[in-house]
Amino acid sequence: MEEQRRISSAVINRLPRYHRHLGELIEMGVERISSGELSKRMHVTASQIRQDLNNFGGFGQQGYGYNVQYLYQEIGKILGLEKKYNMAIIGAGNLGRAIANYTNFEKSGFGVVGIFDINPELKGKTIRGVPVRHMDELDEFLKHEKIDIAAITVPKENALEVADRLLKLGVKAFWNFAHIDLNVPKDVIVENVHLSESLMRISYKLSSGEKK
């Protein structure tokens, strides 16, 4: 039986950026690239690139480097991008609507299948063809549709309650935009996007005089 080594989250966090840069290189028509060249482009050490990639296998060739197209695909596979994910957006406020309107996620396989809001007045509106439903319809909706990822874009006051409800309905991954820590079992994924914390990192650097 294969022992699967845990990949450090530092590595995982860097993979999407590799993926993006490789995508840009493909658009530029670049066929091959060495860790050294990629290193210059991305401002990370070549050693780190090679070490990161080797967590998943040897994708390069000595004396040649990496085939851009192949490496892009392989990293895509590692990131699970060859699969399709159903995403629901909980909270059709400005942020929820912004996410629902963002077509690039769809292209990467993250399809918006449902949009929900507590405000009855929003019912009947649609965003890119997806109707905004009332929160009351959530249970019924989930009998027919699977939700792989729930984006939580409700105010923090409602976030815990909403997440609990989704948890009970079997949702296993949350994209949390509310400024609060969700409480979930160990087998459930939470990816936080805390914009106010992001802003505070800027104000820290601005006020401390620290530069990148």
Partner DNA sequence: AATGATTTGTTTAAAATTTGACAATCTGAA
Partner DNA sequence: TTCAGATTGTCAAATTTTAAACAAATCATT
Least spacing, CB of residue 210 vs its own copies, in Å: 8
* Single-letter amino acid, residue 205: K
CA distances to 58, 139, 165, 168 from 120, rounded to whole Å, are 54, 16, 19, 23
Least spacing, CB of residue 128 vs its own copies, in Å: 11
Q: Between 64 and 146, whose beta carbon lies closer to its own copies?
A: 146
**Cα-flanking dihedrals φ and ψ of residue 109, to 5°?**
100, 5
65 contact, one of its own copies, DNA, none, CB 5-8 Å limit per kind: DNA
Residues that bind DNA (CB under 7 A): 8-11, 34-36, 44-48, 50-51, 53-54, 58-66
Degrees, nearest 5: CA angle 179-104-134:
55
Q: Between 125 and 179, whose beta carbon lies closer to its own copies?
A: 179
* 161 interacts with its own copies by CB under 8 A: no
Q: Between 54 and 108, whose beta carbon lies closer to DNA?
A: 54
- Judging by beta carbons within 10 Å of its beta carbon (0-12, 13-18, 19+), is residue 34 exposed, middle or buried? middle
Q: Between 76 and 131, whose beta carbon lies closer to its own copies?
A: 76
- Count, residues near its own copies per rule CB under 8 A: 64
> What is the contact mask toward its own copies in residues 85 to 104, using x (rule: CB under 8 A)?
x-------xxx-xxx-xx-x
Residues 177-196 that bind its own copies (CB under 8 A): 179-181, 184, 186-191, 193-196
